[in-house]
């Protein structure tokens, strides 16, 4: 389907020029000649991209107001602002309000097409990311019947009417981010932003920029996590990794609810709920002067402890059943026949905790939805075998950090090559075994780049 672009400009020559450029590239184009027409077109149907002139026919309304309208309806829709009388103030305001790009007239055909192409690609990536994140945000639950998990669930319920700051403790992969999301989702801030900043992934000299944002000499602004989370919830993951000097500035924000961007002079007022998480012993870090005691007490108002998976093995069958159902739905495959009596599932140490178990179930779900329990047991044993556990964990972690589409294609290719090898390259036998039509299997092999099979 061709993308639809709305061109808004009160100059008929510009409207015609831009429309013709876009139509030559097979875009569907709608136009609006004034402010009221533009509002009508935006309300009628949001385009995939809007190109808006700043100066229109109204004295009290302009293209910036239309940018706000588009963003209010769907913040993902990219907007390119154009102007023949641009000022730095215009550009800064448009960028701050979410404009993808600001172009001065006159502009070349190549320039407008380049910006349009990049804006649409960005839109598609954000839309795909948003879909995946929404699935994870709204679908996955905190699963378990162990005493420790039941205690965490009760705390989350109690926090639904509270604005208290929360500190979530637990090893890597145990579900700290999931708990933070549930707290946000149950709170009065659920319709506002949920922003995550992982302190362990930041470079040493970028902490303050990532938290507070930055102002540049040319008027451009980089908005930090605190500002993006305004009215919502900010999760600082691995909060212990924030440098000692920066911790003082974070404390000041908690006290004053305001801050200045780097190189900025204006106070930015914020109203956020702060949730922190850590896999380290903060009490010990306070004792050795690696974490500020005053900040620790401000953050540790409501502590939540998530225990490792190997200490609550009674939750493993529930987690496997849950992940089987959800991952089969997301990946569009049948649920695998996993033997819940397999001793390996309960004797294995699970250093990656629930995340590692989820990765295991996802791999089995994609590779073995039509395999027998015996075949799946062998696969589980291979993956969890202590002699190769390190290599397998690296493989699972790599697949977990890959985009869903890439991970699925990798596993599908591995699975189909294995089945073809079992059936000596016979397409018909392979298709029968995996439950696909022969023609559909041919198409799948071609899409995965598997060649040389007759």
Q: Architecture of 4-128 per CATH?
A: 3-Layer(aba) Sandwich (3.40)
Q: How far apart are CA 269 and CA 267, in angstroms?
A: 6
pLDDT at 395: 53
pLDDT at 21: 94
pLDDT at 135: 54
Q: Could you tell me the sign of the dihedral formed by the alpha carbons of 405, 406, 407, 411, in that order?
A: positive
Q: What token pair was written down for 260?
A: 């200045």
Contact assessment for residue 21 and residue 33, using Cβ atoms and an 8 Å cutoff: no
Angle, vertex CA 217, rays to CA 211 and CA 223, nearest 5? 25
Q: How far apart are CA 240 and CA 71, in angstroms?
A: 36
CA 160 vs. chain centroid, Å, equals: 24
Please list the residue range(s) of the chain that carry CATH number 3.40.50.300.
140-307
pLDDT at 72: 83
CA distances to 203, 253, 302, 330 from 248, rounded to whole Å, are: 18, 9, 21, 43
191's CB contacts (< 8 A; 6+ apart) are none
Contact assessment for residue 444 and residue 412, using Cβ atoms and an 8 Å cutoff: yes
Q: What token pair was written down for 220?
A: 């451009």
pLDDT at 57: 85
Scanning the structure block, which residue is given the tokens 């945000």? 137
416's CB contacts (< 8 A; 6+ apart) are 430, 434, 441, 444, 445, 448, 450
Please list the residue range(s) of the chain that carry CATH number 3.40.50.2300.
4-128
pLDDT at 137: 45
- Render pLDDT for 62-74 as a digit per residue (tens, 0 to 9): 889 999 899 888 8
Please choose, from the candidates 299, 298, 288, the residue with its C-alpha nearest in 3D space to the C-alpha of residue 169.
Answer: 299
Residue 453: cis peptide before it, omega within 30 degrees of 0 = no
pLDDT at 132: 58
Contact assessment for residue 223 and residue 230, using Cβ atoms and an 8 Å cutoff: no
Phi (first) and psi of residue 24, to 5 degrees = -60, -25
3-state secondary structure 193-222: CEEEEEHHHCCHHHHHHHHHCEECCCCCEE
Scanning the structure block, which residue is given the tokens 């409207």? 15
pTM above 0.85?
no
CA distances to 256, 279, 344, 397 from 390, rounded to whole Å, are: 47, 21, 16, 11
CA distances to 26, 54, 278 from 20, rounded to whole Å, are: 10, 21, 55
Scanning the structure block, which residue is given the tokens 């200490």? 311
Q: How far apart are CA 379 and CA 151, in angstroms?
A: 34
pLDDT at 22: 94
Contact assessment for residue 445 and residue 412, using Cβ atoms and an 8 Å cutoff: no
Its CATH class, for the domain covering 140-307, is alpha beta
Please choose, from the candidates 363, 236, 345, the residue with its C-alpha nearest in 3D space to the C-alpha of residue 300.
Answer: 236
Scanning the structure block, which residue is given the tokens 């933070």? 180
Q: How far apart are CA 55 and CA 277, in angstroms?
A: 47
Give all strands (DSSP E) within 98-232, no chain letters.
101-104, 166-169, 194-198, 214-215, 221-222
- Render pLDDT for 201-240 as a digit per residue (tens, 0 to 9): 887 778 999 999 998 887 778 889 999 999 999 999 999 9
Q: How far apart are CA 91 and CA 86, in angstroms?
A: 7
Which pairing describes strands 214-215 and 221-222: parallel, antiparallel, or unpaired?
antiparallel
Residue ranges of the chain with per-residue pLDDT less than 50: 137-138, 386, 388-390, 392, 454
Q: How far apart are CA 418 and CA 295, in angstroms?
A: 54
pLDDT at 28: 93
Q: What token pair was written down for 399?
A: 């697949």
């Amino acid at each position: 389907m061709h993308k639809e672009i709305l061109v808004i400009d009160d100059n008929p020559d510009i409207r015609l020029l831009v429309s013709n450029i876009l139509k030559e590239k097979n875009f569907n184009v709608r136009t609006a000649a004034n402010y009221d027409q533009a509002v009508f077109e935006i309300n009628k149907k949001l385009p995939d991209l809007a190109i808006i002139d700043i100066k229109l026919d109204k004295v009290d309304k302009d293209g910036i107001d239309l940018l706000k309208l588009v963003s209010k309806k769907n913040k993902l829709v990219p907007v390119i602002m154009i102007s023949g009388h641009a000022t730095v103030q215009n550009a800064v305001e448009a960028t701050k309000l979410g404009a993808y790009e600001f172009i001065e007239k006159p502009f070349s055909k190549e320039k407008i097409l380049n910006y349009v192409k990049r804006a649409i690609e960005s839109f598609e990536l954000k839309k795909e990311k948003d879909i995946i994140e929404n699935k994870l945000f709204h679908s996955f639950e905190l699963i378990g019947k162990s005493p420790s998990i039941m205690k965490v669930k009760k705390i989350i319920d109690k926090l639904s009417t509270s604005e208290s700051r929360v500190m979530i403790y637990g090893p890597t992969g145990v579900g700290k981010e999931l708990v933070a999301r549930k707290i946000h989702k149950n709170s009065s801030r659920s319709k506002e932003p949920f922003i995550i900043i992982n302190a362990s992934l930041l470079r040493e000299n970028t902490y303050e920029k990532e938290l507070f944002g930055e102002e540049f000499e040319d008027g451009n602004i980089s908005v930090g996590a605190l500002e993006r989370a305004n009215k919502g919830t900010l999760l600082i993951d691995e909060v212990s990794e924030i440098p000692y000097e920066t911790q003082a500035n974070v404390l000041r924000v908690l006290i004053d609810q305001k801050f200045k961007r780097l190189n900025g002079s204006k106070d930015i007022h914020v109203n956020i709920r702060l949730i922190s998480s850590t896999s380290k012993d903060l009490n010990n870090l306070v004792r050795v002067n690696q974490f500020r005691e005053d900040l620790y007490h401000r953050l540790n108002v409501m502590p939540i402890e998530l225990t490792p998976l190997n200490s609550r093995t009674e939750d493993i069958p529930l987690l496997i059943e849950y992940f089987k159902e959800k991952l089969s739905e997301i990946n569009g495959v049948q649920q695998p026949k996993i033997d819940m009596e397999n001793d390996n599932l309960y004797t294995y140490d699970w250093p990656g905790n629930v995340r590692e178990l989820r990765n295991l179930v996802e791999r089995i779900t994609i590779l073995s939805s039509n395999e027998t329990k015996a075949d799946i047991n062998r696969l589980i044993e291979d993956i969890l075998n202590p002699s190769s556990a390190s290599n397998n964990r690296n493989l699972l972690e790599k697949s977990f950090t890959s985009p869903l589409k890439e991970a699925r294609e990798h596993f599908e290719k591995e699975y189909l090559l294995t089945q073809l090898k079992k059936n000596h390259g016979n397409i018909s036998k392979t298709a029968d075994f995996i439950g696909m039509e022969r023609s559909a299997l041919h198409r799948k092999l071609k899409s995965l780049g598997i060649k040389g099979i007759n």
